[in-house]
Amino acid sequence: MYFYLALSLAAIGSLLADGLACPHGRGLRHWTGLWLTALLSMVAFSLFLAVSGDMLLAALTTLALQVLLVVSSNAKLRILGEPLHFSDLALIFAVFRHPQFYFSALSLWQKACGLVVLAALIGAFVWRFDMSFTTHLVGAGIGAVAWAAIALSLRLPAFRVLAATPEADSDVAKLGLTPTLLLYWLRWRGTPQHAPGPAEPRAAADDAEIVIAIQCESFADPVELFGDGKYALPGLENARLQAAQWGNLQVSGFGAYTMRTEYGVLFGREEEELGFCRYDPFLTAVREAELALPHRFGIEAWRSLFVHPHDMRFYNRHMIMPAAGFAELVSEEAFAPSLPSEGRYVTDKAVADKILHLAQASDERRFIYAVTIENHGPWSVDGAVEGDSLLHQYLRRVQASDAMLRQLLDGLAALRRPAVLAFFGDHRPSIPGFSQPGGQRHTPYVILKLDRVGKVQAGANAREDITPAQLHRAILGMA
């Protein structure tokens, strides 16, 4: 009886908790989602039972895990406009490797509560641990049965048609959070493993000797974000007037997911082509390495450098970028630590200085792709004066990005070599009360060409609203 009560607590509690996951439709979830939620709760229950040997503890831990997933997903939906994805779970270790990206956004009391819960969980496992081998074996047996039931269920026609296309909001509303996580992971694993055929190196169109692409963290037009012309960025406005091409970059992420924009610009594949890989295309980018811009330029003809003042292990850039054809990775070790007054990250000015140094270091043709970090949120800590608002902190840093654009244009002009500069934002910032999900997501981009005497070439000054993958092709076409 005690066993059935504990298992019922885990299953029913998980069903109730998952019902609170947003977005949700009217009424109950579809029966297929409820069935999968119940089976997944049995899997979790069996795991905790096999580890602890205590049924009540296994049930409560299962319920706590479900609540944690729902709370995390709802918070993410509120801040970033998307529910939790299976690919987000790949970042669990990054949370502890790079705590400043995550824990610094928590208040002191939230951190304290987290530590208390963690200590209580460890204490409960120590206190309630049962040495009985039989109970642990029962847990393993329940897990085997639950996994078998899931595997058999997914072979049935009613389940095979679920989550056929990546539409996370509607699938969470219909099926629930945990079934969607499972199904999307399975669909992602089922994506064909063969890479698309290697792209042909582009034919030389112009005589550019330097190509620089700047993926600027949280760079957006403040006039569009906040509806006030006094926030206009002079560097961006001037660049738009001189650009060979400019417009809106139609990025899919809001407040995060730098790697989606980065993948699109570097590898040139539209999200519609990626299927379930679209949520984190860097998970599979290595097998598409030959599509990347360095290979398109030609690794024999151009030396490609990737600049990012952060740990290259984040998003596995340390593996992806060399495979993509970058001959050199310039990471955080190449930069001096930022001053307390500058914030927690390396400044955009320091990145611009490094890029210009690399551009003039050799007469060989160079492609430099840089990912900035100064304007990475949250903006409520280092470098802020007392009473400073989130809005003012963001504006101060986006103005630094705008100054970087001007610095790069002036620096390239001084080199007096044919050059192409592409400058774009990776996503809009998520600033509570000022910039929130639900509306437009685009960021600005500009592409400028300079001739051999350092003058910006007058071109069509064409406005085109494009995707990151189309920006990939635009850069190739102008280089």
Average pLDDT (355-374) is 95
pLDDT tens profile 303-346: 999 999 999 999 999 999 999 999 999 999 999 888 887 888 99
d(CA 368, CA 413): 16
Confidence of residue 215 (pLDDT cuts 50, 70, 90): very high
Has residue 140 got a pLDDT over 60? Answer: yes
pLDDT of residue 386: 46
Question: Does pLDDT of 382 surpass 50?
Answer: no
d(CA 146, CA 220): 48
What confidence tier does 102 reach under pLDDT thresholds 50, 70, 90? Answer: low
Would you place residue 205 in the very low, low, confident or very high pLDDT band (cuts 50, 70, 90)? Answer: low
Q: What are the structure tokens assigned to 443, written together?
A: 């960021």
Q: What pLDDT, on a 0 to 100 scale, did the predictor assign at position 90?
A: 80
CA distance 198 to 5: 57
Q: Which of 200, 211, 420 is nearest to 305 (CA)?
A: 211
Per-residue confidence (pLDDT) for residue 381, from 0 to 100: 47
Q: What is the mean pLDDT of the chain?
A: 90
SS3 413: helix
* Rounded (to 5) percent helix, strand, coil in the chain: 55, 10, 35
Helical segments of 129-254, H only: 133-153, 157-160, 168-175, 177-189, 222-226, 234-242
Q: What pLDDT, on the 0 to 100 scale, is given for residue 206?
A: 58
| Residue 200 confidence class, pLDDT cut points 50, 70, 90 | low
Quote the longest CA-to-CA distance of the chain: 85
What CA–CA distances, in Å, run from 139 to 9, 59, 145, 179, 229? 15, 11, 10, 22, 63
Q: Which pLDDT score is estimated for 105? A: 53
Are the C-beta atoms of residues 295 and 325 closer than 8 Å to each other?
Answer: yes
Of 349, 431, 340, 435, which Cα lies nearest the Cα of 385?
Answer: 340
Pairing state between β 419-425 and 210-216: parallel
pLDDT tens for 58-86 read: 998 999 999 989 998 998 999 999 999 99
CATH superfamily of 210-478: Alkaline Phosphatase, subunit A (3.40.720.10)
Q: Which residue has the tokens 């119940």?
A: 38
Task: Specify the higher pLDDT residue, 116 or 265.
Answer: 265
Q: What is the dihedral of CA 355, 361, 364, 365, to 10 degrees?
A: 10
DSSP string, 370-405: EE--TT-S--SSTTPPTT--HHHHHHHHHHHHHHHH
Task: List, edge to edge, every strand of the sheet that includes 245-249.
Answer: 328-330, 303-307, 366-371, 210-216, 419-425, 443-450, 245-249, 462-463
Residue spans per domain, the chain: 2-189, 210-478
